[in-house]
Amino acid sequence: MTTMNPHEHLAALSREASLLGSSAALLGWDQEVLLPEGGRAYRGEQLALLARLAHERVAGTAMSDAIAKAEAASGDLDPLGDDAVNLRELRRTHERKKLLPVELVEEEARLQSEGQAIWAKARGASDFGQFAPVLERIVDLLRRKAECYGVPDGGEPWDALAEDYEPGCTAKEVDAVFGPLEVRLRELVANLSAADQSPCDAFNRVVFDRSAQEAFVRHMAEGIGFDFNRDRLDTSTHPFCSGTHCGDVRLTTRFHDDNILDALGSTLHECGHGIYEQGLRYDAIGLPVGDSISLGIHESQSRMWENQVGRSAAFWEWATPLAHDILGGGARNFDASALYGAANVVAPGFIRVEADEATYNLHIIIRFGLERQMLKGELAVRDLPEAWNARYRELLGVEVTDDAHGCLQDIHWSMTAMGYFPTYTLGNLHAAQLFEAACSAHPGLVDGFSRGEFDPLREWLNTNVHAEGKRYGALELTEKLTGKPLSAEPLMRHLESKLLPLYGLA
């Protein structure tokens, strides 16, 4: 029998906890895709048990002892070596998780399962009143969770929760970025809205057969390099990416009779998440060096494939003949220029996941502010629809017509995920900055999209982002790869260089 050294023993405990967590993720995927209605109540109990067992593995004394022994045996470890990174991140996670009572962990898992089921029904009925009672319970639980973690000095409950999604991120820091960004985006949207010229969105009103839509988006996913030998693509109310490890990645998308660009954008977005997951190290499954850095970096990957790639003129030079062949009929009335324009129409609307690039981050700014208010007790849950609708009127100039197009459109709060939404905008900032670095490393990168050449971008990301695991923090990684701290300038350059010419303003 081979005796494990302290770092190997610590890694074994981490892998065991990961097995439990990934099993719960698989049950969560099944809950959204295949689970019959009659199985939902018991699913909550299954997920609660797995949550408790995983929590005990991460927060318990066995992990504490293993970390202490590994630290004692560390000597002169390279701080960026695998053992040191695993130790650093497992210590951080352990210290954080042990602050949570196991009863609270179980309660949250049950509430997530119940909340998602009630949200789906309420959204289908466009009735926030059905969802409000469970959302009140969710906000209460999250306040208790934040208290367990401890609110940082000068901070607020949101900060304590955000640490799970974007380590080190605080509401004040997000505010400092979002404030100026909101001003610039609103100015850009106003200028585009007042322009005498604009692209046509007629393609998005063409009805296509569901099977043709499915074939088209799958072909696009395969074209950018998503590996369906390690994945499946299904449908759900809200598109998402899940799975158990880099060899089993689960994506979902959604379809309408028309609005094919929504299905394509959702699929490319989730493929970006999936490509990240597939790019993680197989030999490090269950370890921090084999895990993603943060949700901001994860979102940078999804938003990059959705926007910098999927909304580029070069992408549509490649994709248009395929759209003609696969979608047939009405698609053949549009050339590559028309489809590129349709993919970049700026039109303030209600739905975040259908939003254009220029208005998308305004949707995130609204959600960030509202969840902060709910957590601080400044906004009662019952008053959420009114507050939501007022902010949409103020920032996007639209009148929300019903709850399904308003505060019930996103699944996140039903999953107890508050502290999450800003990672979408942080992801957009990282995406634009990293994409510029990839273009510098590979001159002609974008031109290659027109020939279906996506390997250079995917491989650059695999090497420089995915395979690094948690070796670097999010801000640290982007600065390392780009030579500059994270900034909104690359995102604004991306938006203005594309949209101003399309609207005859440059």
Residue 141 tokens read as 């639980």
- Residue 406 near residue 385, CB atoms below 8 Å: yes
Contact yes or no for 250/242 (Cβ under 8 A): yes
* Residues designated catalytic: 270
The answer to whether 230 and 248 have CB atoms below 8 angstroms apart is: yes
pTM greater than 0.85 (yes/no): yes
Q: Can you say how many angstroms the Cα of residue 69 is from the centroid of all Cα atoms in its chain?
A: 36
**CB neighbour list of residue 309: distance below 8 Å, 6 or more residues apart:** 224, 268, 315, 449, 454, 457
Coil, strand or helix at 245? strand
Cα within 13 Å of Cα(386), Cβ side: 5
Report the alpha-carbon distance of residue 249 to residue 262 in Å, rounded: 21
> Quick check: helix, strand or coil at residue 241?
strand
At 163-204, the pLDDT tens digits run 999 999 999 999 999 999 999 999 999 999 999 999 999 999
* pLDDT of the chain, 506 residues: tens digit per residue: 568 999 999 999 999 999 999 999 999 999 999 999 899 889 999 999 999 999 999 999 999 999 999 999 998 899 999 999 999 999 999 999 999 999 999 999 999 999 999 999 999 999 999 999 999 999 999 999 999 999 989 999 999 999 999 999 999 999 999 999 999 999 999 999 999 999 999 999 999 999 999 999 999 999 999 999 998 999 988 899 998 899 999 999 999 999 999 999 999 999 999 999 999 999 999 999 999 999 999 999 999 999 999 999 999 999 999 999 999 989 999 999 999 999 999 999 999 989 999 999 999 999 999 999 999 999 999 999 999 999 999 999 999 999 999 999 999 999 999 999 999 999 999 999 999 999 999 999 999 999 999 999 999 999 999 999 999 999 999 999 999 999 999 999 999 999 999 999 98
